[in-house]
Amino acid sequence: MIFPPGLIPFYLTVRQLGLMDTYWAVILPYAINAFNMIVLMSYFRTLPVELEEAAQIDGANRWRLMWHVTLPGLATVIMTLLILQLGWFLNVGFVQLFILQNNIVLPTGDIIETFIYRVGIQRARFDFTTAAGLFNSAVGLLLVLVADRIAKRTGLRGIL
């Protein structure tokens, strides 16, 4: 997918706030991934409160509570989110680089997605665009399969 669904509202908001060609246009909208936060918050609510209470009665401070109770309980969801994020590893942010791109930074700030846009879409080389998109997908799939294998070797459930 070359253009994410929220590209046009994002562009209009950035332009309206006067953030074009600034680093704040890149940093602010992507500081927190809302999907991951929702998944983590819902998983925090499923952790047994009895484990935390038992650790506090045994004399655990907040650091030990987090290290020995919370993180082991979150290991499966952290690995799941890691596997999901690795699938998008090569999608480093078309929107950010497209907003900041000009002729001065083009040789340095060119990534696969902006290169696909420039060569494939603007020059109508759709065969090249398809091949580059397939390469992105293949590398993402390979990373997901490797992370799934690592998850299974560490004793966690993978996704396959």
Confidence class of residue 125 from pLDDT cuts 50, 70 and 90? confident
d(CA 92, CA 96): 9
What is the average pLDDT across 86-106?
Answer: 68
pLDDT of 151: 87
User: What average pLDDT is seen over the chain?
Assistant: 80
Nearest residue to 12 (alpha-carbon basis) of 4, 22, 20, 21: 20
The separation between the first and the last C-alpha atoms of the chain, rounded to the nearest angstrom, is 24
pLDDT digits (tens, 9 = 90+) for 43-93: 888 888 898 899 999 998 999 998 988 888 888 888 888 888 777 777 666
Contact 83, 146 (CB under 8 A): no
What is the average pLDDT across 124-149?
Answer: 86
Look up the CATH number of domain 7-153.
1.10.3720.10
pLDDT of 1: 52
Half-sphere exposure of 26 (CA within 13 A, CB side): 12
pLDDT of 40: 86
At 111, the amino acid letter reads I
CA distances from 53 to 36, 59, 69, 97 (A): 27, 10, 10, 48
Classify residue 26 as exposed, middle or buried by CB count within 10 Å of its CB (0-12, 13-18, 19+).
middle
What is the average pLDDT across 11-39?
Answer: 78
d(CA 5, CA 118): 19
Judged against a pLDDT cut of 80, whether residue 105 lies above it is answered with: no
pLDDT of 4: 66
